Amino acid sequence: MPKYLMLFILTFIVYSCKDNKMIEENSMLKNQLNELKTNLATYQQTAKSLDFLIKQMSDVKARINTNYGTIEVEFLPDKAPLHCFNFISRAESGYYNNTQFHRVIKGFMIQGGDPNTKTDRKETYGQGGPIVNLPHEFNDVKHTPGILSMARPGNVAVGAGSQFFIMHAAYPSLDGQYTAFGKVISGMDAVDKIANVPTIEAGRLDRPEKPVIIRSIEVYR
């Protein structure tokens, strides 16, 4: 039962009861009501904070500058505010500068955002990320060409880190399983060029033979 509904029911019981002595004696009911009121206030404050964050990001865009061209994206903060903020703040800090699109599959997607790709330790590509992961924000956005979405490990409980991917084709099997948080508004030709580069061990590593570099990501309004 939703907590707000339980709160309503408990409030109704308390205020509709004519026996004040019985209300005072029922300490368990009072404690539950107080706890629910506290939780409700916390949820309301969290909702206000997210609303503020969503409004702040409503018109933010980013240019992903690569050695194959520029990809311009806009964000979907109303669908995944935490993921948008995560990407924007990392991009502004330079976290993604000189990383690579380390996994490329034509007719599927191009994946980047791993800090390990700044090094020559190619055996670690695809394994890097932050210390603290994000909770998923699965939503109703379809994984169609140009959608910006968040990569994650096979274990859903782990959450998502810093790695992201851009769809090169439609893949309905990803819908509701990965967090879509943006979309390409310009530069699908660059996405197409990257998706078509020769790769090493197709179907296993899918790593470009020659590095596809994310030189920088510019965040702007």
The CATH number that applies at residue 185 is 2.40.100.10
Residue 140 has what pLDDT? 98
- Largest CA-CA distance found in the chain, in angstroms, rounded: 79
Question: Rounded to the nearest 5 degrees, what angle is found at the Cα of 76, between the Cα atoms of 72 and 79?
Answer: 155
Q: Closest Cα to residue 151, out of 188, 190, 99?
A: 99
Count of domains in the chain? 2
Q: Say which range, 70-84, 98-112, 199-213, has the weakest mean pLDDT.
A: 199-213
Residue 203 has what pLDDT? 76
User: What is the rounded distance in angstroms from the CA atom of residue 149 to the CA atom of residue 173?
Assistant: 13
pTM, rounded to two decimals: 0.81
Question: Does residue 83 have a pLDDT over 70?
Answer: yes
Question: Does residue 20 have a pLDDT over 60?
Answer: no
Q: H or E stretch including 112?
A: strand 109-112
Are 151 and 206 within one domain?
yes
Are 84 and 51 within one domain?
no
Per-residue confidence at 197, pLDDT binned at 50, 70, 90? very high
Are 116 and 159 within one domain?
yes
Q: Say which range, 43-52, 132-141, 168-177, 212-221, has the weakest mean pLDDT.
A: 43-52
Residue 99 has what pLDDT? 98
Are 31 and 111 within one domain?
no
Are 144 and 181 within one domain?
yes
Are 10 and 117 within one domain?
no
What letter does residue 160 receive in the DSSP assignment?
A: B
Are 141 and 191 within one domain?
yes
> Which of the given ranges, 1-5, 142-146, 203-207, has the highest pLDDT on average?
142-146
- For a pLDDT cut of 90, what percent of the chain falls above it? 75
Are 130 and 32 within one domain?
no
Owning domain of residue 117: 58-220
